[in-house]
Structure 1
């Protein structure tokens, strides 16, 4: 997609984050961050990478998983209909990790839209609004912390799948949650290995 179209989609998402009613969802998105190609020089991009920080505790948002209600939130904001790749995060941990490198804050519930970030992204000067890179030690610790959260989630989702396996009803929500959690765990495990 064209750079200007990608910036348009990002701006629309930021506006929708601020427009949603606070009591409508099981959780609240309190920050929207952009990372990846959209923080580089203007060119066509395949996808807009964003991190959505929720008010949920860390154990409810393991790496590469989706909190309960995320699909409903994504449909309400048109996130699911546009070329976004979203990563869900918890307010109780840093937004960055080994894949979310030096993101830039686009919107927060506290301060609204960060116009400086949107202008920098639009101009191709996203480097100016990115957070500093963590030290190698900080990054290693971050990955270890996420790996521990992921392992707990993997055990929990495996048990939920096992418990539901032979019960009536759809198994897809349980298998999808197990698949996402497994993918996140393996990604982190590869990073420390």
Structure 2
């Protein structure tokens, strides 16, 4: 997709996040508090395949393990029209750093308290997002971050495996439980690969 089109999608999502934050909690109980951009959109001006973003939600870390979808995220995403957009979403907890091995030095695009970061969008538009990205973590910080994420992911994998085992032969649809287990497994394996274990 052309650079200008990618920027349009990113800016539209930022304004959608702001709009969704004003909607009643009774309809949208999942609260997105920040939008971060990551990946190719933070590089030089060029065509990109997809935009990678992190949506930060006000949930405990254990409820948002890597590559999983927190409860209510599909409802939120549908309302924000994310399935129709060329955007890859990574859900993150507001109670841990947003960055990891895959979300390398992301740039803050929108915050529920401060609004859209116009200077960041302008830097991305001009292909100079490097000027608005945080400093790279040290090797020790990177390793500690991955270790923390791996521990959260392993707990999620164990919990969701037990839930699957409990529901395996019970009444009702198994698909949501199986999908949750699959996502937890995918996240754990991705982190395991990233740590080189």
TM-score, length basis structure 1 = 0.98
Is 1:22–1:28's contact at 8 Å kept on the other side of the alignment?
Answer: no
RMSD: 0.9
SS at match of 2:96: coil
SS at match of 2:192: helix
Deviation at 1:18, TM superposition (A): 0.5
Q: Match of 2:49?
A: 46
Residue 60 (1) aligns with residue 60 (2):
no
Is 1:26–1:68's contact at 8 Å kept on the other side of the alignment?
Answer: no
Q: Deviations over 1:4-53 (max 9, x none)?
A: 00100000000010011151323210000001000001111111000011
1:67-146 to structure 2, matched below 5 A, reads 67-146=70-149
Unaligned segments of structure 1, at least 5 residues: none
Deviation at 1:100, TM superposition (A): 0.4
Unaligned segments of structure 2, at least 5 residues: none
Is 2:65–2:152's contact at 8 Å kept on the other side of the alignment?
Answer: yes
- Give distance in 2, aligned partners of 1:4 and 1:22: 33
- Give distance in 2, aligned partners of 1:79 and 1:125: 26
Q: Match of 1:180?
A: 183
Is 1:35–1:102's contact at 8 Å kept on the other side of the alignment?
Answer: yes
- Give distance in 2, aligned partners of 1:6 and 1:79: 13
- Give distance in 2, aligned partners of 1:145 and 1:190: 14
